[in-house]
Amino acid sequence: MTLIGHLIGGERRNDATRTQEVFNPATGRAEKQVALAAKSTVEEAIAAAQAAFPAWRDTPPIKRTRIMFRFKELLEQNAERICQLIGEEHGKIVHDAAGELQRGIENVEYACGAPQLLKGEHSRSVGPGIDSWSEFQPLGVVAGITPFNFPVMVPLWMFPMAIVCGNCFVLKPSERDPGATLFIAELLHEAGLPPGVLNLVNGDKEAVDTLLHDPRVQAVSFVGSTPIAEYIYATAAANGKRCQALGGAKNHAILMPDADLDNAVNSLLGAAFGSSGERCMALSVVVAVGDAVADALVARLREAMRGLKLGIHHERGNDFGPLITRQHKDRVVGHIDSAERQGAQVVVDGRGVRTPGCEEGFFVGATLLDRVSPEMDSYRAEIFGPVLQVIRVSSLEEAMALIDAHEYGNGTCIYTRDGEAARYFSDRIQVGMVGINVPLPVPVAYHSFGGWKRSLFGDLHAYGPDGVRFYTRRKTITQRWPSASLRESAEFSMPTLK
C-alpha cells in the first residue's frame, strides 16, 4: 500500500512510526496510508526552513518569482495527474478538481507579481533633507495548516505568496487527502526551489501543536473548522505568533420575490450540491422572502434535483461525488434526521441513495429541506454536505436579521432585480464576502478571501493584498545625510516640522 510521507529539505522522508489510512471515498476502501509526523520530524522540518532562510531572504524577488513562473507551467502540465489524486482521495469529480486547481494557479500568478507587490512606499522630503520609506521584509519561518476540502487550492493560497515574499514554509496538509498536496510541493522543487524553502509534514494534532509552540515559527496560516481555528488562533497568539485562522460557515442566499427564478434555481443547484456541499462557500440555506416565491422555488428545485448525478470522480458526467469519510456521512445523515424530527419537511431525501458500482462509498444524495426554522440544530450547525435548507420569511429586513444573528459570516448572496435592495443588503450585512446574483462570491486572487464573525480569527484575510501584508512585516526607515546647511543643534522637544 502506498505510504504518503513528508518532504523535508527537498527530500522525501517516511517517518512511519504512526500512520493513518487514506480512503478512496467513492469505493469506501483504504487504498493508501499517510505517515503522521512525530514532534521530532516536525522540528527537523522547521530546522530545514530556518537554515534555508538567510539565503532565500537575500535572493532578489525577481529570482524567487522566476521559480513561481516555472511552477505555474508545471501545475498546468500536470493538471490531469493532480485532478486524479484529488479525485482518488477526496472524491471530487474531475471537472470540479480542475476548477480547484485553476483557482489555485491564479494565486501562483498573483505571487508572480512579487517584485511589484514588495516595492514598498516612499516619501521624499518628509522634513528638510529627510526621506522616509517603508519596506516589507519577510518574517522567517512560517507555517500553514490546511483542510481536506481543497487539498490543492488552499495550500496554494498560502505558500506561493509566503515564499515569494522571502519566507521559508512548513506546510501541514489534511491527513485525509494529502497525496495531491505532496505532489504539488514536489513540483515546486522541480521548478527550481532550493531545498528547505518549502517543507511538508503530514500529521495530526501532534504535528500542529509542534508548529504552534516552536519559537522558530513566526506566523501561522490556518484554514479549517471553527473550533480548531479558534484553538489555533488562541494558541498561536499565546506563543507570540502572527496568526490568521479561517473557520467554518453557514452561507445564506436571500431569494427576493422579483428574482430571476430560472437563474436562481440553476445557480443554487451548483452552489449547494457542487463538491457534495463540502465547500466553505457552499450555499446551504435559502431565505425566501414570501411564501409565493418559496413555493415556486421548492417546486422547481424538486424537479431539477431529479437530474443530478453522483458517482465516481473520473466520470465527467457526474455532478458531485461522495463525502470525505464514513463518519462524516453519518454526521450529515444525522443532521437530516434531526431536521425531520424537529419539524422540517424533507422534500427531496438523499439518505439511502443508490450508487451502482460504488455501493460502499460514502455517498449522500442531494437533499432539500423546507420549512426549516432558526431553532433547529441542522440550521445552527455547518452540515458540510449536499443539504439545502429553505427558511421562509416575510421581508428583506427579516432575512438580513437572520443572517446577522448566525455565528458564521463567511459568504452570502442575494437574488434580486432590484438594485436598491441589493445595495442596501451589501452595505449592511455582517458577512465578509457578498454576491449579488452570484452564488459563490469567492474573491479572485488579486482581492483577498475571508469571512467575518466566527468564520475568521485574525485581522488579515487570506491571499491577495492581505496575503502580502500577512507574510511580511513593515519596516519604516527615516534617513538624513547631514550637510553643513542642515546641521541642527540639540533638540529636547518632540521633533516636528518647522
Residue 467 in the binding site for ligand NAD (CB under 6 A): no
Residue 325 in the binding site for ligand NAD (CB under 6 A): no
- How far apart are the C-alpha atoms of 299 and 252, rounded to whole Å? 19
- How far apart are the C-alpha atoms of 323 and 325, rounded to whole Å? 6
Smaller CB separation from ligand NAD, 166 or 409: 409
Smaller CB separation from ligand NAD, 293 or 460: 460
Window of 21-29, 123-131, 172-180, 473-481 that interacts with ligand NAD by CB under 6 A: 172-180
Secondary structure letter of residue 275 according to DSSP: G
Locate 370 and state its grid cell.
423546507
- Minimum distance of ligand NAD from residue 269's CB (angstroms): 20
Q: Which are the contacts of 345, defined by CB distance < 8 A and separation ≥ 6? A: 369, 370, 371
Question: What is the x/- site pattern for ligand NAD, positions 188-227, by CB under 6 A?
Answer: ----------------xx--x--------------xxx--
> What is the footprint of ligand NAD within residues 373-392 (CB under 6 A)?
382, 384
- Minimum distance of ligand NAD from residue 422's CB (angstroms): 24
- Minimum distance of ligand NAD from residue 134's CB (angstroms): 29
User: Coil, strand or helix: which one is 122?
Assistant: strand
- Minimum distance of ligand NAD from residue 97's CB (angstroms): 15
- Minimum distance of ligand NAD from residue 275's CB (angstroms): 11
Alpha helices in 21-166 (DSSP H): 39-57, 61-77, 79-90, 94-111, 114-117, 153-164
- How far apart are the C-alpha atoms of 131 and 114, rounded to whole Å? 24
Could you tell me if 171 and 198 are in contact, meaning their C-beta atoms sit under 8 angstroms apart? yes
Could you tell me if 466 and 450 are in contact, meaning their C-beta atoms sit under 8 angstroms apart? yes
> What is the footprint of ligand NAD within residues 424-463 (CB under 6 A)?
451, 455
- Amino acid sitting at position 245: A
CB neighbourhood size of 123 (10 A) = 12
Question: What is the x/- site pattern for ligand NAD, positions 270-309, by CB under 6 A?
Answer: ----------x-----------------------------
- Minimum distance of ligand NAD from residue 146's CB (angstroms): 6
> What is the footprint of ligand NAD within residues 109-148 (CB under 6 A)?
145-148
Smaller CB separation from ligand NAD, 20 or 167: 20
- Minimum distance of ligand NAD from residue 326's CB (angstroms): 14
| Pair type for strands 29-35 and 408-409 | unpaired
- How far apart are the C-alpha atoms of 294 and 391, rounded to whole Å? 8
Binding test (CB under 6 A) with ligand NAD, winner from 175, 214, 319, 370: 175
- How far apart are the C-alpha atoms of 438 and 177, rounded to whole Å? 29
- How far apart are the C-alpha atoms of 302 and 97, rounded to whole Å? 27
Window of 244-252, 355-363, 425-433, 489-497 that interacts with ligand NAD by CB under 6 A: 244-252
Smaller CB separation from ligand NAD, 172 or 242: 172
- How far apart are the C-alpha atoms of 34 and 19, rounded to whole Å? 5
Smaller CB separation from ligand NAD, 73 or 230: 230
- Amino acid sitting at position 262: D
- Amino acid sitting at position 6: H
User: Coil, strand or helix: which one is 468?
Assistant: helix
Task: Point out the residues that are catalytic.
Answer: 280
Residue 249 in the binding site for ligand NAD (CB under 6 A): yes
Q: Which are the contacts of 20, defined by CB distance < 8 A and separation ≥ 6? A: 33, 34, 36, 175, 204
Locate 407 and state its grid cell.
455565528
> What is the footprint of ligand NAD within residues 407-426 (CB under 6 A)?
410
Binding test (CB under 6 A) with ligand NAD, winner from 91, 160, 196, 248: 248
Could you tell me if 97 and 87 are in contact, meaning their C-beta atoms sit under 8 angstroms apart? yes
Window of 161-169, 170-178, 286-294, 348-356 that interacts with ligand NAD by CB under 6 A: 170-178
Please state the length of the chain.
Answer: 498
- Minimum distance of ligand NAD from residue 237's CB (angstroms): 15
Smaller CB separation from ligand NAD, 145 or 298: 145
> What is the footprint of ligand NAD within residues 18-77 (CB under 6 A)?
none
Positions touching ligand NAD (CB under 6 A) are 145-150, 154, 172, 174-175, 204-205, 208, 223-225, 228, 246-249, 280, 382, 384, 410, 451, 455
